Chains A and B, each alone.
Chain A
Amino acid sequence: MSKQHIRAVVNGDPVEFLSDPGTTLLDALRDELRLTGSKEGCGSGDCGACSVLMDGRLVCSCLVLAPEVEGRRIDTIEGMAQGGVLHPLQQKFIDHAALQCGFCTPGLLVAAKALLDVNPDPSESQIRYWLAGNLCRCTGYDKIVTAVQDAAAELRQVRRAS
């Protein structure tokens, strides 16, 4: 089968690439666009390491076919820091030692951002259930929950100030 020509907006920039119909969005991001920040931990939507936003909605990019993103907006970990300035979630993950090996971190950050976009003041329990689709084998989640809470508090302060 011949390749399809896909056009999409990734992290705000227009992109074009050729894709087999069966190629996943994750493989397209990693192999065609060389955006390797999204990781493959399972390929079956169970670990969340490949989490990205598609038109603002949190998805596992390993479960999305590349041709499905035609005309859509994709946001990956590479687009989270703006102009060299870390997003508060990224900064709080570092400040709170919320990562050890770091492999699950991009997916957790994308998922946490999606949470704070819809719920600026989540409880510990809401954070835990929202992030239940993102496996971390290193941290026991404790410091991740703390980092998300702290980032949420900072973002609320920024919103109030602006």
Chain B
Amino acid sequence: MTDVLNRPSTPQLKVVGTRPVRPDGVDKVTGAATYGADFHLPGMLVGKIKRSPHAHARIVSIDTRAALALPGVKAVVTAADLPDLASEEYEAGESASNLRDLSLNVMARRKALYDGHAVAAVAATSSAIADAALDLIKVTYEVLPHVIDVEAAMAPDAPLLHAHMFTEGLDERPALPSNIAKRNQIKGGDIDKGFAEADVIVEGRYTTQAVHQGYIEPHACVASFAADGQCQVWSSSQGQFMVRTYCAKVLDLDIASIRVTPAEIGGGFGGKTTVYLEPLALALSRQSGAPVKMVMTREEVFRATGPTSGAVILVKLGAKTDGKLTAAEVELKYQAGAFSGSPVGAGSMTALAVYALENFQITGWDVVTNSPKVAAYRAPGAPIAAFGVESAIDDLALKLGIDPITLREINGVKDGVKAVYGPTFRNIGYLETLKAIKDCPQYTAPLGPNQGRGVAAGFWFNVGGESTAAVHISEDGTAVIATGNPDIGGSRASMAMMAAEVLGLPVEKVRPIVADTASIGFSMLTGGSRTTFATGMAVVQAAEKIVAELKRRAAVIWDVAPDMVTWENGAAVCLDPSKEGLRPLPLAGLAAQSAKTGGPISAEVSLNAQGAGPGFAVHVCDVEVDPETGHVTVLRYTAAQDVGKAIHPSYVEGQIQGGVAQGVGWALNEEYIFDSEGKMENAGFLDYRVPVASDLPMIDAIMIEVPNPRHPYGAKGVGEAPIIPPLAAVANAVRGAIGVRMCDLPLSPPKIRAVIDAKAS
């Protein structure tokens, strides 16, 4: 089944667009909600991981005998206990995974590729015994030279991570292996001609450091592998079906033999779209015969999960004096971490997506490095590319003496424009979003000394994909909605609201649940800003099937033709003139008679949703720079976004505000710092400093509603676009405050002090 096109617009919405309290709210403010680490089973063991202390090393041998002999140790697992998988691409929605790489990231085989790479795992009767067992595992390493910097890793003489990696995407297959996994290129027109026509050219080289998603909940799971091969997993992730598939692949099991129950998820931002612990917990449970719980420490989260790429971004722009862009050239070099698959592809596609361009060339390099394998992070790849492009656009605006919003309006995409990355835009609200920022009070508020204002724009595709939803009507006419998508930021509320809208029920009469993998049909994971759009579409269609069924049953009761019944305000209404005077039959009345009219009233819809509308974000940031310390204070922030239709406006605003906060952290504070041996030096929240409440002002969110015609209520994804503009918006504001372009993130106080001092002398 696919989605329905050109659905007539719903004239009067009663629930969609309002702000009811979320169905899981009480559980989450009372401490009752059960997250990954909150599960407990009788006889449960504690599982822990031994990790490589070297950034790059050959594993000569692993001796587990002493650990296994320790009383209380029930299992020890190494790569020898897992199948050695062949290379196989697995399409998982927003990003593809190579199953062999996935397995090798879960547990190193032959080589450890980054500091923190798992080399063995134990299960024991207590945490202290598990720790002691880890110390008793003797791993002999042959330490190898390592490389983390992306350009150093691209050099011909760089230490080689994978002996058989030959760069893909070049015109000719290279003769020698390298750390460059892939080159991608997007071209249009003739950039040489475009630059020749330009009156003004700006160029820049920008860098960003690896940053972590920084979810507050560390990865956690409980797994049980029964003697008959039936497995159960309880874990915190962005997709219970993703966990099921990956566990089955890594352990070579039947998918249906694994039942995964989603825990509440304590933040993910893309970082929980893969597995680290679950296959190992299952392997330990298989060996020990007991359930195994594994919970990462914060240090493990930093050293072995996430982050997103550090990168080098080269941008060259050409324009006429009237501001019209004539050519744009972008080169992106992204760290992938230990295995290929950086988000440079999405970075390339989004880099220039807000600009209508004839002549352009974008080249992306996916480069493996001795650092943790990158994981998706909110609009993967896009903030990095936008940092470079939007900084260069700001320089162009300065050079041309054109207002930065006006410059973006002159070159901005609108309906009918073919996007740099291929498709033709329809029903987008980018220009409206630019105007909203131009018109917001902050944009013209006076600035004081040492203060600056920056604007930047961002684009994200959003995705649809496979989803299932079920609607069950209870005997009293209330409804249960089951979906297969973890609720990461309030999606239970939006699911219940859309169902309530169709059924004509008050939203509190609809109970939404997130079902386990054995209780609902397949759904792709919660990611790509897809859940409210795609799973919401499944919910709406399932509820519509219920309404059709209710109308049919009312027709049976009234003995009229089915097309003589309509559904209004939660009740069947008879249109047959010969039956004048019949009172409407409410849902509760129909439910009470269900046994007589055909049995339980249920519907399940599985679909592959197409037509996710892209999102555009435009932000304005005001900062003040302390010339003595180099510290940047964000004074004011306004973020406008093309959101389609806000199903629950408070949670849309929340997505925008949260994305801004993460982007500000990326711009000002956050970075992975490695020592000379390639070990992460700041693997904790004290030294890896995410924004705290006192770092931020109130964040004004402006929702621009240009409905997406492919969704029943016009919704589109909203969660990712807001993290894209802040990096450049902050940097452009700092440029305004100190008069110097800062090109290297994060804009930490020492860097800014150095620039201020250099300017003074």
Contacts and interface: CB of A to CB of B under 8 A. Distances in A.
Contact of B298 (A42, A95, A143): A42
Contacts of B685: 41-42, 44, 46-47, 135
Q: Which of B26, B268, B269 has the most CB of A within 10 A?
A: B26
Interface in B672-695: 684-686, 690-695
A106 to B, nearest CB: 5
Contacts of A46: 298, 684-686
A99 B31 contact: no
A103 B30 contact: no
B199 to A, nearest CB: 40
A128 B298 contact: no
B215 A101 contact: yes
A100 B216 contact: no
B298 A142 contact: no
A34 B39 CA distance: 10
A99 B28 contact: yes
Interface stretch (B7-15, B514-522, B568-576, B653-661): B653-661
B308 to A, nearest CB: 14
B40 interface: yes
B684 A42 contact: yes
Nearest to B660: A140
Contacts, number: 186
B214 interface: yes
Contact of B266 (A30, A35, A39, A42): A39
B741 interface: no
B657 A132 contact: no
Contacts of B25: 93-94, 99
Interface in A1-48: 20, 30, 34-44, 46-47
Contacts of B686: 44, 46
Interface string B6-46: 00000000000001011011111111111101101000000
Contacts of A139: 654, 657-658, 661
B376 to A, nearest CB: 15
A137 B27 CA distance: 19
B217 interface: yes
B488 interface: yes
A47 B658 contact: no
A51 B215 CA distance: 17
Contact of A94 (B26, B34, B215): B26
A31 B524 CA distance: 34
A100 B488 contact: yes
A38 B40 CA distance: 15
Contacts of B266: 39, 41, 101-104
B217 A97 contact: no
Contacts of A61: none
A interface, size bucket: 35 or more
Interface string B64-86: 00000000000000000000000
Contacts of A132: 692-695
B651 interface: yes
Interface stretch (A63-71, A75-83, A154-162): A75-83
A113 B37 CA distance: 25
B477 interface: no
Nearest to B650: A97
Contact of A100 (B21, B32, B651): B651
A138 B26 contact: no
Given A104-B216, A135-B216, A142-B657, A40 B22 contact: no
B693 A145 contact: yes
B489 interface: yes
B321 interface: no
A106 B26 CA distance: 11
Given A77-B31, A133-B692, A143-B654, A100 B490 contact: yes
B40 A34 contact: yes
Contacts of B22: 94, 97
B29 A138 contact: no
B329 to A, nearest CB: 34
A80 B264 CA distance: 21
Contact of A90 (B30, B648, B654): B30
Best-surrounded residue of A100, A125, A127, A139 (most CB of chain B within 10 A): A100
Contacts of A37: 30-32
A129 B217 CA distance: 23
A100 B650 CA distance: 10
B698 interface: yes
A136 B31 CA distance: 16
Contact of A127 (B215, B298, B693): B693
B244 to A, nearest CB: 22
Contacts of B653: 97, 142-143
B267 interface: yes
A138 B218 contact: no
Contact of A36 (B31, B269, B684, B691): B31
Interface string B288-317: 000000010110000000000000000000
A30 B26 CA distance: 20
Given A42-B298, A95-B21, A101-B267, A138 B217 contact: no
A76 B31 CA distance: 9
Nearest to A93: B29
A106 B28 CA distance: 8
B743 interface: no
B488 to A, nearest CB: 6
Nearest to B298: A42
B500 interface: no
Contacts of A76: 31
A145 B214 contact: no
B696 interface: yes
Contact of A97 (B33, B128, B268, B490): B490
Interface in A94-132: 94-97, 99-106, 109, 124-125, 127-129, 131-132
B265 interface: yes
A38 B21 contact: no
Contacts of B214: 137
Nearest to A78: B31
A37 B747 CA distance: 37
A128 B38 CA distance: 29
Interface string B509-539: 0000000000000000000000000000000
B489 A41 contact: no
Contacts of B33: 102
Nearest to B687: A46
Given A43-B297, A101-B489, A80 B30 contact: yes
A106 B699 CA distance: 23
20 contacts: A36-B37, A37-B31, A37-B32, A39-B266, A40-B218, A42-B298, A47-B298, A76-B31, A97-B653, A101-B267, A103-B215, A104-B266, A137-B213, A137-B267, A138-B267, A139-B657, A140-B660, A143-B650, A143-B654, A143-B657
Given A77-B30, A141-B693, 10 more contacts: A36-B35, A37-B31, A41-B685, A42-B684, A43-B297, A77-B29, A103-B266, A140-B654, A141-B661, A142-B699
- Please name the 10 residue pairs, one residue from A and one from B, whose CB atoms are nearest each other, closest first: A37-B31, A103-B266, A102-B28, A140-B657, A140-B661, A97-B650, A46-B685, A94-B25, A77-B31, A90-B29
